Structures are given as C-alpha cells and as structure tokens.
C-alpha cells in the first residue's frame, strides 16, 4: 500500500511558497500545514505569557500545547510575531518539538503539503517532491509592501526590504536547520512569474514525480 503523499516546500519570506502550498494542497486533495505558523504560534504564546526571553523549556512546553488546527493566520501574521518567531526558531529543543508535531501531521493519510524553511532538509527528507521557491529580495519586498498597503497599513518599501534581508540572514545563517534548498529540491524562482505560472510549473514537477513513483511500484 502507498504511504501518504508529501510535498515539501521551502523558501524565504514572501517568496510565494505559502500561496503555492495552499493551491497544491487543494489541487491534490491533501492537507496543508504552514509550519511558519507553528513558530509564530509559540512566539505569540510566550509573548502573551510575559515576554519572549524564552528558555528552551518554556518554548517546548508551549509547542506541546499547540493546537495545529486552531492557529489563527490573521492574528499570527503580525510583524512583531514574525520577528519573534525567527528569534526563537534558533532554539534546537524547540525545533525538535515542533518537527515532531509537523512529522506527525505529514504522516496522516492521504498526505500533506508542508511549507517552511527546513521541510525538505529536516522535517520530511523523504517527501515525494521538494520545491524550493524563491524570488529576489526586491520583488519579495514589493509584494509584501503591496499586501500591507492593500490592508490599509502604512508601509515603507525600504524598511520592508531591510527587514526581509535581516530575516533571510537570520534564517540562513543559524546553526540548526538553516534555510537552504535540499540537494534534490526543484528550484522555482517566482521573481518574474505570476502565481498561476508558478502553480503550473509546480504541478508539472509533482505530476512527473507521481508518474515516476507509479512506474517504480505499480499498484
């Protein structure tokens, strides 16, 4: 019998990986987990409980209490929560605790699309397909600025760009599970692509992987 179908998507902030992950999950009838939300939810819990300054123990306890099905994307998308999330994401014990939750999610039939920073490298190294979605910092900052302006929030492009670059550096340079493409990841650069074009490119890659797997072990 076939195991759950897992699609791993990694990439930096505002690369388009979240939108792509949601669309792929809908298209293939899979569940979806935005693993960034798990780090954000822990950060929000710690902040609500009297400040970040987390030690591993408090963070691990918060990770154990998380209800993955009740993470409020709107609430957790706040800028200060994203900053706090990337600061606590360097704690190895916290990463270990969240990775266990994320793996348990991925192992449920029929499978799942997970997006984050270390899905193809650490969380689901045996995923059927791994995508690394990226775009230039300027394009990502423009998208993020337009999105915030669209929500009526006064936003400065230069500040958003500086912020994204700082976050990229923190995520790529940490010792534990840094952001990087898995050796067998397919790269999708969305700098000059619509989300529809990125989606079609991703479907072609996933379909090819499904066909190759079916040929290798016909049911």
Give yes or no for residue 144 binding ligand C5P (CB under 6 A): no
Residue from 21, 33, 118, 188 that binds ligand C5P (CB under 6 A)?
118
Output the six-digit token pair for 105.
Answer: 């999610």
Give yes or no for residue 117 binding ligand C5P (CB under 6 A): yes
Query: Whose structure tokens read 């915030």?
Result: 148
Give yes or no for residue 111 binding ligand C5P (CB under 6 A): no
Contacts 24+ apart (CB under 8 A), 180-186: 180/121, 181/10, 181/120, 181/130, 181/132, 182/8, 182/10, 182/120, 182/121, 182/125, 182/130, 182/132, 184/120, 184/130, 185/8, 185/10, 185/120, 185/130, 185/131, 185/132, 186/129, 186/130, 186/131, 186/132
Site for ligand C5P, residues 29 to 58, rule: CB under 6 A = 35-36, 39-40
Give yes or no for residue 15 binding ligand C5P (CB under 6 A): no
Give yes or no for residue 116 binding ligand C5P (CB under 6 A): yes
Give yes or no for residue 13 binding ligand C5P (CB under 6 A): yes
Site for ligand C5P, residues 65 to 104, rule: CB under 6 A = 82, 85-86, 89
Question: Which residues contribute to the site for ligand C5P (CB under 6 A)?
Answer: 13, 35-36, 39-40, 82, 85-86, 89, 116-118, 167, 171
């Amino acid at each position: 019998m076939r195991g759950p179908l897992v699609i791993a998507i990694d990439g930096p902030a505002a690369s388009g990986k979240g939108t792509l992950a949601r669309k792929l999950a809908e298209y293939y009838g899979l569940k979806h987990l935005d693993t960034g939300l798990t780090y954000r939810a822990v950060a929000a819990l710690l902040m609500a409980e009297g400040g970040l300054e987390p030690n591993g123990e408090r963070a691990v306890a918060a990770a154990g209490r998380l209800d993955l099905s009740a993470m409020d994307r709107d609430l957790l998308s706040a800028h200060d929560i994203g900053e706090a999330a990337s600061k606590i994401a360097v704690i190895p014990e916290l990463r270990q605790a969240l990775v266990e939750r994320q793996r348990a999610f991925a192992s449920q039939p029929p499978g799942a699309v997970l997006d984050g920073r270390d899905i193809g490298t650490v969380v689901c190294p045996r995923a059927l397909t791994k995508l690394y979605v990226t775009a230039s910092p300027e394009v990502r900052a423009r998208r993020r600025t337009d999105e915030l302006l669209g929500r009526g929030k006064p936003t400065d492009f230069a500040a958003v760009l500086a912020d994204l670059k700082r976050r990229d550096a923190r995520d790529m340079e940490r010792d534990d599970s840094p952001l990087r493409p898995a050796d067998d990841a397919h790269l999708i650069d969305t700098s000059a692509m619509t989300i529809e074009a990125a989606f079609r490119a991703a479907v072609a890659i996933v379909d090819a992987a499904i066909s190759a797997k079916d040929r290798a072990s016909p049911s």
